Amino acid sequence: MQELVATLNDHSRRYYTEDNPTISDKEYDLLYDELVALEAQTGETLPDSPTRRVGGDILKGFEPHRHLARLWSLDKAQSTEDLAAWETRVRKLIADYNAKNPERPLPEPEFVVELKYDGLTLNLTYEGGELAQAATRGNGVLSVKNELYKKAQGKLTKTLKYAIL
């Protein structure tokens, strides 16, 4: 398991930090799925396992951006059953939080589901209906600031035509 974790971490570094992948997404996913199965079988997850995080470090030369709220992952859900299990985990986390924080409970989750395309995630922030920030996914908490916004001028919706509550 240690060798598989080290191999996956090496590929993650090359993909996310160096922007120089050496295997295909499909090959990475096969190795990752092998690790997930091994962790489930043994009940052990190593501290540096890639199953404990999303994304990677920010490329050097880019300005960091901290997301307003964590961007979560579907944990590579590949079936209706995987998606249902993910939803169950989300609802349990919210219920656990609300039990500990009754004065500030989280609302029931709402979901939007769309087809997944391998590629880049872009997180858009609107303030007062106007596009204020565009950032990559990064590790779900920290990402690259504004670079995509600069490159995608004219291709992003700059003004929302409805109010957001």
Say which of 76, 92, 116, 158 is annotated catalytic. Answer: 116
Amino acid in position 37: A
Residue where the block lists tokens 């922007």: 19
**Measured distance CA(105)–CA(59) in Å, rounded:** 36
Quick check: is 161 catalytic?
Answer: no
Residues noted as catalytic: 116
